[in-house]
Amino acid sequence: MGRGIQGIDRLRLMRSAAFIFGSFSTLFGLFLIFLILPHINFYRNAWHVIGGYLVIFIIPSLLICGFYRIGRIAGGLLSLLFIYLGLAGLLALIPLNDSFSFFLVLLSCFYFPFFLSADTRAVLTQPLPLKSAEFFAFFRFSLKHLVILCLPLLPVFLFIWWFQQQFRDIESPCPIWTRVSQDQLRRLIQLSLLLPESNTHDQVGYLGSIGTEESVPVLLSCLKGHDRGIQLCTISHLRGSLTELTNHEYHRYRDWKKWWRKNRHKTRKQWMLEGFREHGFDASDPPTDLFIRQLISAKSGSTQPAFLNWNASGQLKQYPREQVLKNLDALTADQSPELRLAAAETLFYLNYPVPGNYHSAAVERLSRLAIDPNLKVASSALRKANILIEKREQLDYQEIWSYDTMEIQYLGPVLDTDSVFVQGKGWAGVFDLESKNLAWTCECQVRGYDRLSDRNRIFLFDQEHDKNLQFIRCCCLDLEARKVIWQKKITAERFHNPESALAAGRIVYPAKSKILGLDLDSGDLVWELSIPNLRHTVCTVGQVVYAAGGEAKQSLFKICPACPEGHVILEKQFPDRTIQAVFCNAEQTKLYAVCNVPNEPFKGHAFLAQVSSITLDIERELKIADIDPGYHASFTPDRDLGFLGIEAFYTCLDLKNFKIVWQECLVHDFKDSVVGKDFVITQDTVSGALLRDKTTGLIRSNLSGLRQVCLSGDRIYAIDEKLHLCQVECQ
């Protein structure tokens, strides 16, 4: 009797111990899932954490309960485990920040007592499923309580899923930020910070531009939760947005928190004025003329912190237009180039990124600054004026010829006022501009990357690869005979965009590390000169060819093309500069060299040098731009003018007086230009063709979608995106 009672007490003790251990392990598992899991960067691997908890705590608990045949307690723990692992799985699928995870913890804690009070006995007396029918009942019971527990969270999950889809669909023709107001977008972006860290990087930048006072605590919460483990770029954007909204700058979260506790009850206008006062501005509301001029001067890139530069534009937009323009005009007429440059910057950013009520006034004033005697001011103003020009009207063009089996890939040169050379895949010919049809075609396999014309002959060049060798293919197309009269293949490597020349019955073609001299009539290789580091251009003055290169890229070469071996008449070395390219004027009477004078590694100044064609001495120099060495230069002569493109710099030069007429720093690298009567068409690597005024550089209209532009009088011909020939009427 006593032995039986002792056995029952021992069994009851073991049941109690197993129940306590299982309950503790379950609660500890909930702690891991809700409080530690959100801090783990690898959200998608959350099941590894849950699996480790399952092996360490839950399974041993169930094994102990099962070993002592405590079936009902083990079943209850298994049911609880199933419910909360299901909830943890849902949380693991959507990574959340600290604030939102804490919200879910509170919500779960609110529903958990209700859940237990309703079915405590049912849960703790649920038997282990040993048969199929019992297992089905057990699964149905656990699934029901999982749904009960997750039902309040369903709207939250649905909202997060919808918001993710909205911000992932960036490539759609109508993204979310085009369908809502600025205030709605701000609220959506603040909610978007509940999304994964990869999206935080993109959203905080928008919030810095359109945020308000209520955006600051959102950014602070994000900065606190992601101060460790996040990319430095995202932290920089978070701090930048806070700085832009508050006009104050701190680097640590604790400093931002301290500032926020002290200034949380103030308005953003007060934050702005206090920030300017701390840096010596005479900030007041309403503003004084002195304060407005200080705000404009902040755009000059002075020693003031960078965030004051940006916030100054936003502050000026809030002040009376007439007062701002009055002070801008005063600084525009100032003798200091720095203040004129600051005025140009201010005029631009008053209309950026959305044109405002300063638009027409800004374009007018920037156009005047574009002819400023200071090159830096003029170049900056021209670029900004071209961006702000409201009507860059697309010139109307019409398709004048298309044929699906004969697509035009290369266009030009214009042969006369009535015809133009055209080329496609495997053919070449002449297009009659009057009848708007092909006059004739012939078979031609050379693709014509580079083209030269000489009276009734056109010379075409391209590149061919054969195993480890590279060849330059060239051919001569006789326009009178209407056929290819010779075609050659020479072992050499072609430059990406070479500029060749004709002189003394020779085609002088620059290949990499050597110059080729080809006979005009037969195409035979007459001579070749090996020049290390040969540049991509050669030019002709008289009957002499000039090139640049040498061991240190510091030499000019004067070559006689008529000699059987291509004799180098003279070599001139310039130890203090690097020669990038050589060009001549339209009459081929003057020689110019584009060179770089290095100040330190990877920095220097680009110069245009007028060189004596006899002695190769530099006669005079003109500074073009501050630019790194190793750039690609392109030059288009036009009477007394020359249009020089160096990477992103495009410059109009007065060659007669040897000075810069205008210059613009492009967003993308310069590609090519075509000069008309009173306009010039420039092409870069991204924007396409732009029609500019020749004397001022201001954009008149664009030719987007067109390439291979050539001119015949005032008529513009080009190839569109469908490889069809088009005509543009230029008024």
**Mean pLDDT of all residues belonging to the chain:** 75
Q: How far apart are CA 485 and CA 94, in angstroms?
A: 70
Pick the closest to residue 223 from 198, 260, 256 (CA basis): 256
- Local confidence band at 44 (pLDDT 50, 70, 90 cut-offs): very low
DSSP lists the bridge partners of residue 350 as none
715 phi and psi, to 5 degrees?
-95, 135
With residues binned 3-state (H G I as helix, E B as strand, rest as coil), the percentages for the chain, rounded to 5, are: 40, 30, 30
Q: Is the pLDDT of residue 127 over 60?
A: no
pLDDT at res. 428: 92
Task: Report d(CA 259, CA 256) in Å as an integer.
Answer: 5
pLDDT of residue 31: 53
Token pair in block for residue 550? 């040498």
pLDDT digits (tens, 9 = 90+) for 220-265: 877 775 555 455 677 888 888 889 899 999 888 889 989 998 998 8
Give the burial class of 496: count Cβ atoms within 10 A of its Cβ; 0-12 exposed, 13-18 middle, 19 or more buried.
exposed
Whether the predicted pLDDT of 200 surpasses 90:
no
Strand stretches in 417-532, DSSP E: 419-424, 427-432, 437-443, 450-454, 457-466, 469-478, 483-491, 501-503, 506-511, 514-519, 525-530
Check residue 688 and report its DSSP letter.
Answer: -
pLDDT at 216 over 50: yes
Chain position carrying tokens 């070395």? 573
d(CA 103, CA 159): 15
Which element (helix H / strand E) includes 113? helix 98-124
In this predicted model, what pLDDT tens digit does every residue of 631-646 receive, in sequence order? Answer: 778 889 988 899 998 8
- 184-202: average pLDDT: 63
Statement: residue 308 has pLDDT above 80: yes
Per residue in 379-410, pLDDT tens?
A: 889 988 888 876 566 677 888 887 766 788 88
Query: pLDDT tens across 688-713, in order?
Result: 788 889 989 998 888 877 888 888 87
* Three-class secondary structure of residue 58 per DSSP: helix
Q: How far is CA 301 from CA 290, 305, 594, in A?
A: 18, 9, 30
Q: What is the pLDDT of residues 70-86, one digit of tens each?
A: 444 444 455 555 555 55
Asked if residue 289 has pLDDT above 70, the reply is: yes
- Asked if the model's pLDDT at residue 169 lies above 50, the reply is no
pTM over 0.85: no
pLDDT interval class at 93 (50, 70, 90): very low
DSSP for residue 127: P
DSSP 430: E
Question: Considering only CA atoms, which of 668, 681, 669, 730 is closest in space to residue 707?
Answer: 681
Q: If 0-12 CB within 10 Å is exposed, 13-18 middle and 19+ buried, where does residue 36 land?
A: exposed
Is the preceding peptide bond at 353 cis, omega within 30 degrees of 0? yes
Reading phi first (left if > 0) and then psi (alpha if -120 to 50, else beta), residue 69 is in left
The predicted model gives 37-51 an average pLDDT of 38
How far, in Å, are 103, 104, 178, 223, 505 from residue 36 at the CA level? 14, 13, 38, 18, 82
301 backbone φψ class: left, alpha, beta (φ>0; ψ -120 to 50): left
Residues 534 and 513 sit within 8 Å (Cβ to Cβ)? yes
Residue 149's pLDDT band (cuts 50, 70, 90): low
Examine residue 286 and say whether the peptide bond preceding it is cis (omega within 30 degrees of 0). yes
Query: Measured between alpha carbons, how far is 479 from 458 in angstroms, rounded to an integer?
Result: 8
Report the alpha-carbon distance of residue 180 to residue 188 in Å, rounded: 10
Looking at 174-178, 200-204, 385-389, 571-575, which range is the least confident one? Answer: 174-178
Helix and strand numbers (H, E) in the chain are 19, 33
